[in-house]
Amino acid sequence: MLKDFDVAFTKKVRAWFSNTIYANTALVYNVAYNLVDDPTTELKFPLISIYRPTGFSLNNEQSFAAKRQGIEYYYNSETNDNALARFLSVSLSYQLDIYTKSPEDLDDITEDIMQAFNFDPTLTVVQQNDLVDTDYAERYDIIYNNGPVEQSEFSNDDRVYHYSLVYEIPNARLVNFKSGKAIETGEVTVEVDDEEI
């Protein structure tokens, strides 16, 4: 499910920078720049906000088995039960908005995050199959897309420095689970007529 990717990506960044949230970019922007009428809504700086502003896009390169039958990833030999994972292959673009109160902090945090993704460019995502109570875990590559892009704005003598970065997971698998009995094959015999060869 998409939320499994969102949670895993946010946890990964939060492990590097604790004040990280997953929130709509427009909402965080309006709160950061004091454009919200509710005075109780407040953000702590420095802050990293993560969101998928472009949603996701479907990749067409996947096998028939992935689309219809599913790929077996679990088998219980005692019960002959198996679990199949059918999936959509999609591209997910995550925008990281970095907000600080000084340009030095902005550069330092952005550099730290980019270094962290450079040294550890993978994401492990676990999707729970409730049909057979098993986890489907897979590791994905995280690819730099663009940024940092300057987004800073200054109003009412309140300075908020802001960069945007985008990283992408190009082949995320949104899994739909299927379970059943594994098909057992018996002995296969082949007869060859060597006179025709």
The reply to whether 192 falls in a domain is: no
The reply to whether 197 falls in a domain is: no
pTM for the model:
0.79
- Which residue has better confidence, 34 or 130? 130
Specify the range with the lowest mean pLDDT, choosing from 6-20, 23-37, 165-179. 23-37
Number of domains in the chain: 1
CATH number at residue 148: 3.30.2000
Distance of CA 60 to the CA centre of its chain: 18
The reply to whether 165 falls in a domain is: yes
Count of Cβ atoms closer than 10 Å to residue 79 Cβ: 10
The reply to whether 96 falls in a domain is: yes
Q: Which of 95, 94, 96, 112 is nearest to 104 (CA)?
A: 112
The reply to whether 187 falls in a domain is: no
The reply to whether 195 falls in a domain is: no
* pLDDT recorded at residue 183: 46
pLDDT classification of 139: cutoffs 50, 70, 90: very high
The reply to whether 75 falls in a domain is: yes
Kindly state the average pLDDT of the residues 168-196.
69
Q: At what angle do helices 2-16 and 103-119 cross, to 10 degrees?
A: 120
The reply to whether 196 falls in a domain is: no
Kindly state the average pLDDT of the residues 34-60.
78
- Which residue has better confidence, 44 or 191? 44
> Would you call 196 helix, strand, or coil by DSSP?
coil
- Which residue has better confidence, 157 or 132? 132
Using the structure block, give the residue that is written with the tokens 């219809």.
68
* pLDDT recorded at residue 82: 67
* pLDDT recorded at residue 197: 55
Domain that holds residue 141: 2-178
* pLDDT recorded at residue 185: 43
